[in-house]
């Protein structure tokens, strides 16, 4: 073999090894917490429970009861209520008289209704906060600098 052919073979092997290393690294990407983000990772199935509301981290996340086809009177009384995720009752309800209760928890984006928002009157920028405005705090800081 002459030197040019030897250089081409070595360069080709180097490129093949480099590509294989990159592909192997991308296939087994694990972060520092041990979570596997690889494309071939088998994800465990999400556990779905019928009697407990799903866990979310939103501030006002809520759930409501979605009645089944043959719901009991106890569910009919609370069907319009919205609950925070930790305050929702477990299903079936203790006073449920159906042996095959099919009621489930329905996730809600925000437990507050659009009618009862209280943003205007009672928020930090509302009219009932006499004399307070975010700009005033900025003005005080400017006065201190003088």
pLDDT by residue (tens digit) across 86-107? 788 888 888 888 888 888 888 8
Residues 139 and 82 in one domain: yes
Taking the C-alpha atoms of residue 90 and residue 75, their distance in angstroms, rounded to an integer, is 11
Residues 66 and 36 in one domain: no
Residues 62 and 100 in one domain: yes
Q: What does the pLDDT read at residue 13?
A: 95
Residues 61 and 109 in one domain: yes
Range of the domain at 18: 1-44
Residues 58 and 125 in one domain: yes
The DSSP output letter for 63 is E
Confidence (pTM): 0.36
Residues 69 and 28 in one domain: no
Judged against a pLDDT cut of 80, whether residue 54 lies above it is answered with: no
* Count of structural domains within the chain: 2
Tell me the sheet residues that pair with 4.
none
Q: What does the pLDDT read at residue 86?
A: 78
Q: What does the pLDDT read at residue 102?
A: 84
Sheet containing strand 62-66, strands side by side: 82-84, 62-66, 104-108
Query: What band does 17 get if pLDDT is binned at 50, 70 and 90?
Result: very high
């Amino acid at each position: 073999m002459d030197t040019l052919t030897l250089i081409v073979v070595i360069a080709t092997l180097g490129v093949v090894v480099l590509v294989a290393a990159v592909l192997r690294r991308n296939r087994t990407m694990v972060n520092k917490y041990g979570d596997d983000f690889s494309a071939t990772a088998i994800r465990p199935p999400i556990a779905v429970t019928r009697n407990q509301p799903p866990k979310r981290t939103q501030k006002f996340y809520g759930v409501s009861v979605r009645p089944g086809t043959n719901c009991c009177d106890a569910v009919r009384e609370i069907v319009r209520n919205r609950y925070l995720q930790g305050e929702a009752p477990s299903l079936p309800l203790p006073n449920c008289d159906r042996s095959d209760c099919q009621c489930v928890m329905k996730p809600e984006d925000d437990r507050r209704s659009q009618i009862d928002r209280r943003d205007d009157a009672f928020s930090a920028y509302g009219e009932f906060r006499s004399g307070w405005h975010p700009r005033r705090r900025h003005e005080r800081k400017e006065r201190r600098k003088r």
